[in-house]
């Protein structure tokens, strides 16, 4: 029977063995890629579900704040115009509750936490806010101190429940990423061990004729072992011959490149803010202690700036969250593109940003903040006129290595900038 592969390719006497091993390895690679791709898809779906829940919770919190603001304003003034945000907030709250309840495959602990948020919100609305609005509207008596305290306590209970649910969402996201790493590592381990066993069996048979091939296979096995430890920088062996083994090496190298890219993307997504693309607070919390320790060890200055968009709550209420997101992205881009001495710009939360300035003392940091403040004013976002307030602090010898006191002083300075009229640096 005529062989399908010429003699010079790999030899008739070993063709059958190579054919079987080649088919097995190709199936192994395809199966491994299929299973890993399946894990990635499941992880993406889980993260998307958590992101939706996070958006629902944020909007739920906003709807409750609108209700509380409207109820309080109506209670103080008796002006029924204040009831508009109260009514709209109630309607939005009911819609969001329905959306949350329609979500499927939610982690049990997160589901319980979200139901507790809804329960406490309804408790505040039905047992306090609605009653006070009715009393004020129909002049059924003044609200008592005890009722005010009870209402405040119920709203604080709602906020605590919302904060806890938000923490659970972040934990669920990190858990999903860790689960993905674990699953992919296990599959890579299975693939590497199976590939090594199959390859070593062929090397034993071909040791006299294929010394160079054996060396290539050995290097390939070590590379596969490194990939099971997520060390994708280890190169595959070089092989000039365009035979079955050469194609196998190329396939594994392609898989290595794809896995390296996907793992890098997942790690990047965990550290970046989904809206603006700049580092998020999680990454800031990792980097700040490192930079503070380095500055103390080297005896160099280190400064930190907190800034946020002026009147953002009012803007959101007037123009909506989509336009609010557009403003946040614009501010992040101006800060990121305009920084000179700043090491890192990160989103601290909501409309607030944090800038780290290693090597800058307090005066230099204030100058940088003032320059960025001016840049925010000059870089227009038609049709809006955007301004930001900045709070600056510099590292002191007695500061903790976590940067807690540094952040606290910057936050206090930002508060002072707001109190002094906004659109300024303190």
Q: Residue range 242-262: average pLDDT?
A: 72
* Four-CA torsion 226, 229, 231, 237, nearest 10 degrees: 20
Q: Determine the pLDDT at residue 136.
A: 78
According to the per-residue pLDDT averaged within each range, which of 105-114, 185-194, 284-293, 337-346 is highest? Answer: 284-293
The number of distinct structural domains making up the chain is: 2
> pLDDT digits over 17-26, tens only?
666 677 777 8
Taking the C-alpha atoms of residue 420 and residue 169, their distance in angstroms, rounded to an integer, is 37
In the prediction, which pLDDT does 10 show? Answer: 45
Q: In angstroms, rounded to a whole number, what is the distance separating the alpha carbons of residues 352 and 331?
A: 10
Same domain (yes/no): 259, 307: no
Asked whether the predicted pLDDT for residue 224 surpasses 50, the reply is yes
Report pLDDT digits (tens) over 329-381: 999 999 998 887 778 999 999 999 999 999 999 999 999 999 999 999 999 89
Q: Do 263 and 346 fall into the same domain?
A: no
In tens, the pLDDT along 41-50 reads: 777 777 777 7
Spell out the SS3 assignment of 23-91: HHHHHHHHHHHHHHHHHHHHHHHHHHHHHHHHHHHHHHHHHHHHHHHHHHHHHHHCCHHHHHHHHHHHH
Distance of alpha carbon 77 from alpha carbon 300, whole angstroms: 55
> Of 213, 245, 271, which residue constitutes the final position of a domain?
271
Q: How many residues does the chain have?
A: 426
Residue 424 lies in a domain: no
CA distance 44 to 188: 19
The C-alpha atoms of residue 59 and residue 99 are separated, in whole angstroms, by 11
Residue with more model confidence, 367 or 256: 367
Residue 209 main-chain phi, psi, to 5 deg: -90, -25
The beta-strand segments (E) located in 232-366 are 302-309, 344-349, 352-358
- Higher pLDDT, residue 158 or 315: 315
Residues 6+ apart with CB under 8 A from 199: 21, 25, 217, 220, 221
Question: What gap in Å lies between CA 276 and CA 347, rounded to an integer?
Answer: 8
Beta strands 388-394 and 344-349: pairing type? unpaired
> Do 263 and 115 share a domain, yes or no?
yes
Tell me the residue range of the domain where 318 lies: 281-419
Domain boundary among 248, 271, 294: 271
For residues 375-400, give the mean pLDDT: 93
* 234 and 287 share one domain: no
Q: Which of 229, 253, 271 is the last residue of a domain?
A: 271
Mean predicted confidence (pLDDT) in 123-128:
83
Whether the predicted pLDDT of 13 surpasses 60:
no
pLDDT at 1 over 70: no
The stretch 237-260 carries a mean pLDDT of 72
In whole angstroms, give the CA distance from residue 244 to residue 247: 5
Q: What is the pLDDT of residues 128-154, one digit of tens each?
A: 888 888 887 777 777 678 877 888 888
């Amino acid at each position: 029977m005529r062989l399908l592969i010429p003699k010079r390719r790999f030899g008739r006497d070993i063709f059958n063995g190579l054919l079987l091993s080649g088919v097995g390895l190709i199936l192994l690679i395809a199966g491994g890629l299929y299973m890993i791709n399946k894990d990635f898809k499941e992880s993406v779906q889980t993260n998307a579900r958590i992101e939706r829940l996070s958006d629902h919770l944020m909007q739920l919190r906003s709807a409750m704040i609108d209700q509380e603001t409207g109820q309080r304003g109506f209670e103080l003034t008796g002006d029924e115009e204040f009831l508009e945000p109260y009514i709209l907030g109630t309607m939005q709250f009911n819609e969001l509750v329905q959306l949350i309840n329609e979500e499927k495959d939610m982690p049990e602990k997160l589901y319980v936490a979200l139901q507790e948020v809804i329960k406490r919100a309804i408790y505040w609305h039905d047992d306090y806010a609605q009653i006070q609005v009715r009393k004020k509207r129909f002049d059924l008596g003044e609200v008592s101190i005890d009722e005010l305290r009870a209402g405040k306590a119920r709203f604080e209970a709602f906020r605590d429940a919302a904060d806890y649910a938000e923490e659970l969402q972040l934990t669920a996201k990190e858990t999903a990423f860790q689960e993905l790493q674990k699953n992919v590592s296990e599959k890579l381990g299975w693939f590497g061990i199976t590939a090594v066993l199959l390859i070593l069996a062929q090397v034993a048979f071909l040791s006299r004729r294929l010394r160079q091939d054996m060396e290539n296979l050995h290097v390939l096995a070590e590379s596969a072992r490194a990939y099971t430890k997520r060390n994708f920088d280890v190169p595959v062996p070089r092989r000039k011959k365009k035979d079955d083994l050469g194609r196998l090496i190329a396939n594994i190298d392609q898989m290595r490149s794809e896995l390296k890219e996907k793992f890098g993307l997942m790690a990047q997504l965990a550290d970046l803010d989904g809206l603006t693309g700049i580092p998020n607070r999680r990454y800031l919390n990792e980097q700040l202690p490192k930079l503070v320790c380095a500055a103390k060890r080297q005896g160099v200055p280190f400064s930190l700036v907190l800034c946020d968009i002026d009147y953002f709550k009012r803007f959101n209420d007037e123009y909506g969250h989509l336009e609010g997101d557009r403003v946040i992205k614009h501010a992040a881009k101006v800060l990121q593109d305009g920084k000179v001495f700043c090491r890192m710009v990160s989103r601290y939360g909501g409309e607030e940003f944090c800038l780290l300035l290693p090597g800058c003392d307090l005066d230099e940091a204030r100058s940088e903040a003032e320059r960025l403040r001016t840049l925010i004013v000059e870089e227009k976002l038609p049709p809006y006129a955007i301004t930001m307030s900045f709070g600056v602090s510099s590292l002191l010898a007695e500061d903790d290595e976590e940067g807690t006191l540094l952040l606290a002083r910057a936050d206090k300075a930002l508060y002072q900038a707001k109190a002094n009229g906004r659109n300024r640096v303190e």
